[in-house]
Structure 1
Amino acid sequence: MTLAQRVRTLNGLAPRLRPGGGRGGPRALPAAWTAFRNSEMAIILLSGVLGLFVGLGVVVLRVTVTAIHSVLFGIPWGGHLSDGFSLDWWQVAFIPCAGGAVVGGVAWAIKRRRPRETVDPIEANALFGGRMSLTDSLNLALLTVLSGGCGASVGLEAAYTQWGAGFCSNIGHRLSLRRDDMRTLVGCGAAAAIAAAFDAPLAGAFYAFELIIGNYAVANLAPVLLAALAGTFTARDLIGEDLAFATSRAGHLGTPDYFLFVPVGLGAAGLGMIVMQGVTATEQWMRRQAIPPWVRPPIGGLVVGIVALIYPRVLGSGHGGIVANLHFTFALPYLCGLIAAKIAASAISIGVGFRGGLFSSSLFLGTLFGGAVVMALETVAPSLHPDPLVYTLVGMGAVGASIVGAPITMILLVLESTRDFAATVGVTVGVIAATVAVRRWFGYSFATWRFHLRGLKIKGAEDIGWIDSLTISRVMRRDGKSVPVEMSVAAMRKAFPLGAVPQLFAIEDGRLVGIIEPTDLWTPDLGGIPEEVTAADLMTPVAATLLATDNLQSSLRKFSETKAEILPVVDDPDRMELIGYLTEAEALKSYSQELERHRSDMIGEARLVSTALTPEG
């Protein structure tokens, strides 16, 4: 299924995709509500209020997973599964497997009731104007909590952002907000979620700009930042200030270090690509073995448990392991083994159907990689005296940027977590190198790579869905004049004086069979007397037709291919019943106006031209 077909199919399911599952169009709102949604200040204030609720939801999800870990694994309250606690072998080996059975069963039950794919925030903003289903979002959050709770090697950030974006989309739909405001609210939900999870409002805001909205615009700045701040303060008030990766000292850098951070970034890029390809390889292997989807999670959980018997830190998202790596150094063989184990555990967990993301897992892998680089440098070039803390942070940011695809977010996350500006500059070098390498050699982040595998050719959250919503039916003319093929030129001259119509369409048995240039009715070279020459003698075969459901972009391609100035619009390519026509000039004008409107919205300026697109005729 092509991208356009998928968009049209899902737009056809719009009532089911609407948050809350409501059917029918949005209800008419009172004048006060109309004024509210047209106010920029109202949208800003709304984003702040929604950020509070998103932050509260993140805390609830986080506490729920902590409670599950405490019950199943005996982890002390406030600890992390990847802290390296001494666990009984049966807990490590069998709890992920049993949890996988629960995840598989719940996923099977959800799939029976809601068989479509869950629309995530990036896809919603790219294709559907910010429309998300709150029910689907809560289902995904539930599966992620169950997956993380039983020890699968996945991050919880996917649950946080899905909940936050889905909740904000639901509210935006109920208020009948415009498309651009809906997309902004989806970004606000994700920003508040990441900010609350990491106590990092700037990182949360730029996560929304880079991944969820797809660009930075002045109009988005205030609502997204306010939502991120609201989410952060809510989490702080409920669980206290909790810098995700606080360090006890400042890093020490020398000039040679900045040059070394470039190869570190390139190595991080390679590591990130291995992880993404590993997830795909696991999924493809499972499909080739024809293993039912509900059976895959317990199998994967058993494998992850076996790996965890040797390296228990692979369990969970990796937050505890990150903190340990920032404060302690480990032997090079151990770090290399743990890197391989974490890659395998993460790829298997997501590949078999555990729900979650790679955000925190990529940060954990990055700290391991940075620590391994330090150990290797101390072995081969001890005179460099590399600072383990700085290289660990550089590895964390570079691998995170490689997989997540949000370089500025990673830089700001390090800055807000460590408050160490000098180390952040070093992280910037590694992140730039990693980002450029992944774009050059791979071309995708983990999220967009997943879209690619599903057949969605989108590279980010830039709004391309408006192209498919700008259909020919909105701009075509419906006053096309048709004549039967047996009608004589004399009769057509009488019915259509010279200059009265731009085009005539020849019809036979209700089907469009040809096109007649009106000027040909008056040519001296008619080839016979007007009473005897018919429309069938003058018509030319139809070179191409348009469908009312096609988008304007496709019509422009057909105008270019056929060199025609007017194309007929039919209801169905088989029935060929004429319903209107479109001129190339009108198609170009309408497309340019809509493109200008989106560019104006992006920079927050007033529109320069009118963009009212209404069918004529």
Structure 2
Amino acid sequence: MTSLRNTFNYLRARLDRVQPFSLVALACAVGLITGCGAIVFAELINLVQRLAIGSTDLPLYVLPTLPWYRILLVPMIGGLLVAPLVFLASRESRGHGVPEVIEAILFKGGKIRPQVAAIKALASALTIGTGGSVGREGPIVQIGAALGSSLGQLLRVSPSRLPTLAGCGVAGGIAAVFNAPIAGAFFALEVIMGNFAMPAFGPVVLSAVLATVVSRAYFSDHPAFVVPGYTLVSVWELPLYLLLGILCGLGALVFMTVLDTLEKWIAAVPLPKLLKPATGGLVLGLIVLFVPNVYGIGYATMDLILRGGIAWPWLLLLLPVKMVATSLTLASGGSGGLFLPMLYVGSVIGGLFGMGVGAVLPDLAGPSGAYALVGMSAFLAAAVHCPITAFLLLFEITADYHIILPLMLSCSVSTMVAKLVRDESIYTLQLLRRGIDIRRREDNIMQAFTVGQVMRQDAPTLQDSTAFAEVMQHFLVSAVPVCFIIDPQRHLLGEISIHDVKELLQQEDTLGALVIAKDIAQPVRATVTPDDPLVRCLEQFTLLDQDYLPVVSSSTSVLVGIISRREILDLYLREILRHEYVGLNLRSEYTHGTLHEQVRLPHEYVVEIVQVPPSYVGKTLREAQLRTHFNVTVMAVRQGGKSSPDEFPEPDHPLRGQDYLVVVGRPADVRRFAGERGEYRRAHVPDSPTAADH
């Protein structure tokens, strides 16, 4: 263990010395690891399928050889095995996993528990291998993100880099599964990370490329689907693809509604949670007995549709059945992805549309497989709101330039139709049901952070038997205007505010020997637990008109800390402001234009935004001498918070309590300066991103 720890310490030290290149090296490592993870995951699915139906061949061709009771029972047994994994071992592993990754990257600093990768892989392999009507692309997103995040946490990289490393894992996972590095990179940037910022672009692309190299070395260089030759019969065919885009947009809305409705219905069913996946598996088995095409991932069925090998009545049946089968698998507690089912349903819609157009306009329309191919892309774009990723994925799979115009047209139209009716995608809808709206990220800070992340453990306390004179003495030296009364086991009994003491000051001589803390303590009006979101604290602060709340253990009334309104507002403002300073940029005006240049800070320096400490209010920067006392440099002054413009730090400008200083310094020096804020502020300032990180 000592040798292993020394190795990690050595690697961290080396990475710190080559900061500009370390993120590139880590991204490459994540790509290689995720590529290997995709291989292990695929083989795990094959192993489970072999045990379940006796073969690793495409299930559509194996099921007719099996007895009916085996088809019925296999999904149910899979549900029984999955239940303890998703409800007890790792709740994040339930469902398709993409919303959990988006939440982790956007609101939790990219931190994902390492065990999520292993449990998600096992749970999804059990679900898919036993017939769950889901895909493996969603799970690999969560597996890859967990692997990337875990590597970053293991090497203790800067917190600003964890989201990028998690995004690298996402890109590598999608790239490895689809043999499509471009689509993998753009899926991570467009859907998961929500931006195409250049600092993340390079590492994400590198990770996708290396994951694809690993995947191709093992699986060989074959596309995910067997794609027929494509031809655009006439330019007059383009309006037909526009109409297909509209239909796919509407179909995606129906699919989202079916999934959302089934999740609500099954959640309301009065069954133990551990039995719901098995029950859902049993119902799925009944469906598969009559419609075997919805068993498992469905590659064979999609290949048949692309070749025009399924008649339209059967396609018409598959459309609602596949939606229900996938929704049932996930809503009952199964683990698997939505990516492939969305492509599946899109191919069905496109195939039906192509057959209909071919019957009405035989001289104008191309083969139905071409419409099925475009339908796959358009449906994915509409459901996920990712037209760029959807277009690039199918273009990369087909490697056919002639398909660009129909793909771009259908993807754009389907996305616009879906967004016109519903703002949420199939992924963000899940987050919205949890109270997280990624379009209002600033408002979600209060929902994403918990009390335990902000509270102070050194809550002011007095024993219930403390004499009145000692209570008086406590408030004379304490800066906190409230004190909590506890028994010897730290159970919370009540609270005393400074106002309660003031009312008894005139009777101090009389009461000093007679009254103890328990006698004057008031009942505690509200408490919070470390697991509560900060929004609950704000609700209590507003309702009770007070500035402090005691924090008690989730299971007992034992006092574990204190949280103040000021600390929460500090966190809120800092989280909003810090995202605007990802580096230092020079902007110089010249006769012929403006020059923008980024300054790369030394790797041991950070940029942080700190509210002016009370002891410096009224002083000028010259009088404060922060460089001398704390070895930090003030780069700008932001007066009044986020909405105010930054100002140059004039030496003789007096500082105000609501001002914020943009300071540069070593992390320890910045923490020391931030500690001057007063005794209510936590003595911790997370490392800010440096210019080199971005």
- TM-score, length basis structure 1: 0.73
Indicate yes or no: 2:238 matched with 1:238.
no
Alignment match, 2:174: 194
Once the 2 structures are TM-superposed, how far is the Cα of residue 51 of structure 1 from its aligned partner?
1.3
Q: Kindly tell me: are residues 266 and 219 of structure 1, through their superposed partners in 2, closer, same or farther at Cα, counting changes over 3 Å?
A: same
Matched position secondary structure for 1:424: helix
Indicate yes or no: 2:249 matched with 1:249.
no
Once the 2 structures are TM-superposed, how far is the Cα of residue 506 of structure 1 from its aligned partner?
8.5
The answer to whether the 8 Å contact 1:159/1:356 transfers is yes
Indicate yes or no: 2:199 matched with 1:219.
yes
Q: Percent identity?
A: 22
Alignment match, 2:9: 30
Indicate yes or no: 2:81 matched with 1:106.
yes
Matched position secondary structure for 1:106: helix
Alignment match, 1:260: 243
Alignment match, 2:293: 313
Indicate yes or no: 2:253 matched with 1:270.
yes
Stretch of structure 1 that moved more, 460-469 or 389-398: 460-469
Q: Kindly tell me: are residues 278 and 250 of structure 1, through their superposed partners in 2, closer, same or farther at Cα, counting changes over 3 Å?
A: farther
Indicate yes or no: 2:59 matched with 1:81.
yes
Whichever residue aligns with residue 307 of structure 1, its letter is: F
Matches of 2:485 and 2:53 in 1, distance apart? 77
Once the 2 structures are TM-superposed, how far is the Cα of residue 298 of structure 1 from its aligned partner?
4.9
Once the 2 structures are TM-superposed, how far is the Cα of residue 468 of structure 1 from its aligned partner?
3.2
Alignment match, 2:146: 166
Matches of 1:88 and 1:582 in 2, distance apart? 62
Indicate yes or no: 2:616 matched with 1:616.
no
Once the 2 structures are TM-superposed, how far is the Cα of residue 416 of structure 1 from its aligned partner?
0.9
Whichever residue aligns with residue 55 of structure 1, its letter is: G
Q: Which has the higher contact order (CA 8 A, sep 6+)?
A: 1
Give ranges in structure 2 of 5+ residues lacking alignment: 487-492, 513-519, 586-597, 599-605, 611-669, 680-694
Q: Kindly tell me: are residues 517 and 390 of structure 1, through their superposed partners in 2, closer, same or farther at Cα, counting changes over 3 Å?
A: farther
Whichever residue aligns with residue 598 of structure 1, its letter is: H
Once the 2 structures are TM-superposed, how far is the Cα of residue 373 of structure 1 from its aligned partner?
1.4
Cα deviation 1:323-363 (Å, max 9, x = unaligned): 33223265432321222332343334434444322211210
Matched position secondary structure for 1:148: helix
Alignment match, 2:449: 467
Q: Kindly tell me: are residues 371 and 555 of structure 1, through their superposed partners in 2, closer, same or farther at Cα, counting changes over 3 Å?
A: same
1:48 to 28, 35, 44: 28
Q: Kindly tell me: are residues 272 and 201 of structure 1, through their superposed partners in 2, closer, same or farther at Cα, counting changes over 3 Å?
A: same
The answer to whether the 8 Å contact 2:59/2:296 transfers is yes
Whichever residue aligns with residue 370 of structure 1, its letter is: G
Matches of 2:54 and 2:541 in 1, distance apart? 68
Matched position secondary structure for 2:66: helix
Cα deviation 1:85-142 (Å, max 9, x = unaligned): 4x56352734433422441342356469737553746425525443434444323322
Pairs within 5 Å for 1:331-350:
331-350=311-330
Matched position secondary structure for 2:157: coil
The answer to whether the 8 Å contact 1:506/1:512 transfers is yes
The answer to whether the 8 Å contact 1:103/1:297 transfers is no
Alignment match, 1:118: 93
The answer to whether the 8 Å contact 1:514/1:542 transfers is no
1:368 to 328, 331, 348: 348
The answer to whether the 8 Å contact 1:55/1:192 transfers is yes
Pairs within 5 Å for 1:523-602:
549=530, 567-571=547-551, 582=564, 584=566, 588-601=569-582
Cα deviation 1:489-512 (Å, max 9, x = unaligned): xx99xx97xxx9988559999854
Alignment match, 1:457: 435
Pairs within 5 Å for 1:291-310:
292-293=275-276, 295-296=278-279, 298-308=281-291
Matches of 1:273 and 1:112 in 2, distance apart? 24
Indicate yes or no: 2:72 matched with 1:97.
yes
Matches of 1:576 and 1:381 in 2, distance apart? 76
Whichever residue aligns with residue 609 of structure 1, its letter is: I
Give ranges in structure 1 of 5+ residues lacking alignment: 1-21, 522-527
Cα deviation 1:40-70 (Å, max 9, x = unaligned): 4212212212212221232343345457667
Q: Kindly tell me: are residues 442 and 140 of structure 1, through their superposed partners in 2, closer, same or farther at Cα, counting changes over 3 Å?
A: same
Whichever residue aligns with residue 100 of structure 2, its letter is: E
The answer to whether the 8 Å contact 2:176/2:212 transfers is yes
Once the 2 structures are TM-superposed, how far is the Cα of residue 596 of structure 1 from its aligned partner?
1.8
Matches of 1:575 and 1:295 in 2, distance apart? 38
Cα deviation 1:243-266 (Å, max 9, x = unaligned): 224442344443533542442233
Q: Kindly tell me: are residues 426 and 41 of structure 1, through their superposed partners in 2, closer, same or farther at Cα, counting changes over 3 Å?
A: same
The answer to whether the 8 Å contact 2:134/2:296 transfers is yes
Matched position secondary structure for 2:216: helix
Matches of 2:457 and 2:380 in 1, distance apart? 45
Matched position secondary structure for 2:223: coil
Alignment match, 1:11: none
- TM-score, length basis structure 2: 0.66
Matched position secondary structure for 2:576: helix
Q: Kindly tell me: are residues 372 and 133 of structure 1, through their superposed partners in 2, closer, same or farther at Cα, counting changes over 3 Å?
A: same
Cα deviation 1:71-91 (Å, max 9, x = unaligned): 87687x8x6435xx4x56352
